[in-house]
Chain A
Amino acid sequence: MAVIRDFAFQGTQMLLVLLLSPLLTGFVRKVKARLLRRQGPPLLQPYRDLIRLMRKDVVLADNASWLFRVIPYFIFAATWIAASLVPTFQSGLLFSWSADLIAIIAVLGSARFFLALAGLDVGTSFGGIGSSREVMIASLAEPAMLMIVFTLALIAGSTQLSTMAAFMNSPEVGLRVSLGLGLIALIIVAIAENARIPVDNPATHLELTMVHEAMVLEYSGRHLALIELAAALKLLVYLSLIACLFAPWGMSPPTAEPRLLIIGVAAYVAKLAVGGVLLAVFETAIAKMRVFRVPGFLGAALMLALLATLLRFVSRSF
């Protein structure tokens, strides 16, 4: 009985993240449009886009390899796994024993690696541009992310996300400098990984300014739908990660009490909404950086994360 209930909860999370991610993307777009005094597309537009894409034919280049056809499924699967493992409304779900933060980063990293391969696969130059830029960003974002993980793990005592969330929710965490620095670094890394302004413009149609969009330029039909869904899921993953690690209030402990569960879900949806609004405001307020300045931006994140780890290592009470 308990096992079935646990499966149900885990399944609920998996479905919830899948269904919420296009809504989150639509929400961010709507808020950005409203901030620019436009009407903007309807909130449910991303769902309509995905369904439309699913129904269309796939157009493949002649020299596309089998990898090109398989990669979208793989990326989607990897991102969905990551999204299912990050605690959203409840910590300590059925698969949470495997929800190690380093493993999640590795999963997302492999997804990115295959996407970069897909960009190179067909041999067009824009795909090459996108892939090389993406890998350059990754080469700085990954170390920063790992340093953040180290800091958090040193503070919380474990890299398992449920344990970390539980620790952050407890009163002994205090207001530490390392956490503050880690938060800023994580936000910068999240912006870089999700191809948001100031690193990359998700709404650009100019190939020369694209990073993520350039890699998926050759995709169409259901492949493109899966990749778009994966991108939406990735945004959700990062927002959930920030919410779970730095704003874990309202998350329900592993229990079946309906009141706590409802509070958990409501809190989670609220956090996503707040995160979306903040992201939209930030993207509207700032301009996209030139590509050669992105390493400096990410270097700052790396420095902050290094500083946070350093402070943590050198004194036990930081």
Chain B
Amino acid sequence: MHGITFDIAHLLAGSLVVMSFVQLYQDRLSALINVFAAHALVLALSVAWQAFVQEAPHLYITAVIALVFKAIVIPVALRRIIVRLGIHREIETVVGVGPAMLLGIGLVALSMVVMLRVTADADPLAREDLAFALSVVLLGLLMMVTRRNAVSQVIGFMSLENGLVLAATGAKGMPLVVEISVAFSVLIAFIVIGIFLFRIRERFDTVDMQAMDRFRGEKR
């Protein structure tokens, strides 16, 4: 399956990686939420395209779930949460933007090398989808590690899940079980986010994780 269909699938998967980088680059919380919504939108498009190319109609459901939940519902809800918490200010990152981007490039290189070497004789579209998916997962992980604010850690985690959805749809014919479970995890994660962010705010008057470090481990 070469030619234009292949290229479009690549373009969408590559755009997802680029959006992950754009997420790393953001230092304002409301901009971050917007970029995350765009990330989810690109994911939905990518999954829909896969559904079209693989002729797997159940993947359209996944695309719609990604679109509705992650591109619309969750960003709107997160925006309300940050308004209520009163944190429209700059995010302090633990690592600066420049080094974070360089690390991101390194992770992408690593995932490309690993996945492409390992899946040497599989279907080319699936291989490269997996390589991109792993890059998105690792970039989401990087974001969780380099951020101090709880909301941005959660966004990093959700973009990591987006990478997993990309991987699952790239694996042709994977049964609905996994797709449902991934959508399910979105729901549960959101419930947990809702509970925790409010509880954390209640208790700490802040969602800055560095402030919570006082309570880490033994009382120092």
Q: Name the contact of B11 in the complex, choosing from A175, A296, A304 (C-beta under 8 A).
A: A175
* Shortest Cβ distance from residue B147 to the other chain A in the assembled complex, whole angstroms: 17
Q: B198 interface residue, CB < 8 Å from A? A: no
Closest to A184 in B: B18
A307 and B108 contacting across the interface, CB-CB below 8 Å:
yes
Q: B31 interface residue, CB < 8 Å from A? A: no
Q: A102 interface residue, CB < 8 Å from B? A: no
Q: B98 interface residue, CB < 8 Å from A? A: yes
Which residues of the other chain, B, contact A310 by a CB distance below 8 angstroms? 105, 108-109, 112
Per the 8 Å Cβ criterion, residues 250-302 of A in contact with B are: 296, 299-300
B97 and A315 contacting across the interface, CB-CB below 8 Å:
no
Q: Name the contact of A306 in the complex, choosing from B10, B105, B116 (C-beta under 8 A).
A: B105
A311-B14, A314-B113 given as contacts; is B25 within 8 A of A300 (CB)?
A: yes
B7 and A176 contacting across the interface, CB-CB below 8 Å:
yes
A314 and B18 contacting across the interface, CB-CB below 8 Å:
no
Q: B3 interface residue, CB < 8 Å from A? A: yes
Question: In the complex the two chains form, what is the Cα distance from A317 to B109 in whole Å?
Answer: 16
* Shortest Cβ distance from residue B94 to the other chain A in the assembled complex, whole angstroms: 18
Question: In the complex the two chains form, what is the Cα distance from A276 to B85 in whole Å?
Answer: 44
B124 and A303 contacting across the interface, CB-CB below 8 Å:
no
Question: In the complex the two chains form, what is the Cα distance from A307 to B14 in whole Å?
Answer: 10
Q: B91 interface residue, CB < 8 Å from A? A: no
Per the 8 Å Cβ criterion, residues 151-198 of A in contact with B are: 174-177, 180-181
Q: A318 interface residue, CB < 8 Å from B? A: yes
A175-B8, A299-B98 given as contacts; is B124 within 8 A of A317 (CB)?
A: yes
Which residues of the other chain, B, contact A317 by a CB distance below 8 angstroms? 124, 128
A181-B18, A310-B109 given as contacts; is B128 within 8 A of A299 (CB)?
A: no
Interface size on B, residues (CB 8 A): 27
Q: B21 interface residue, CB < 8 Å from A? A: yes
Closest to B105 in A: A306
Closest to B27 in A: A296
Interface size on A, residues (CB 8 A): 19
CB within 8 Å: A-B pair count: 61
Question: In the complex the two chains form, what is the Cα distance from A122 to B112 in whole Å?
Answer: 52
A315 and B128 contacting across the interface, CB-CB below 8 Å:
yes
B101 and A315 contacting across the interface, CB-CB below 8 Å:
no
Question: In the complex the two chains form, what is the Cα distance from A315 to B127 in whole Å?
Answer: 11
The winner among A177, A296, A318 for most chain B CB atoms within 10 A is: A177
Q: B4 interface residue, CB < 8 Å from A? A: yes
Q: B17 interface residue, CB < 8 Å from A? A: yes
Which residues of the other chain, A, contact B15 by a CB distance below 8 angstroms? 177, 180
A175 and B101 contacting across the interface, CB-CB below 8 Å:
no
B14 and A180 contacting across the interface, CB-CB below 8 Å:
yes
Question: In the complex the two chains form, what is the Cα distance from A303 to B8 in whole Å?
Answer: 22
Which residues of the other chain, A, contact B98 by a CB distance below 8 angstroms? 296, 299
B3 and A174 contacting across the interface, CB-CB below 8 Å:
yes
B11 and A315 contacting across the interface, CB-CB below 8 Å:
no
Closest to A300 in B: B25
* Shortest Cβ distance from residue B98 to the other chain A in the assembled complex, whole angstroms: 6
Per the 8 Å Cβ criterion, residues 99-128 of B in contact with A are: 101, 104-105, 108-109, 112-113, 116, 124, 128
* Shortest Cβ distance from residue B28 to the other chain A in the assembled complex, whole angstroms: 13
Task: Beyond the given A174-B3, A175-B8, please list 20 additional residue pairs across the A-B interface where CB-CB is below 8 A.
Answer: A174-B4, A174-B7, A175-B7, A176-B11, A177-B10, A177-B13, A296-B98, A299-B97, A299-B101, A300-B25, A303-B104, A304-B18, A306-B105, A307-B21, A310-B112, A311-B14, A314-B112, A314-B116, A315-B116, A315-B128
5 A/B residue pairs, CB under 8 Å, sorted by A:
A177-B14, A299-B97, A307-B17, A314-B113, A315-B131
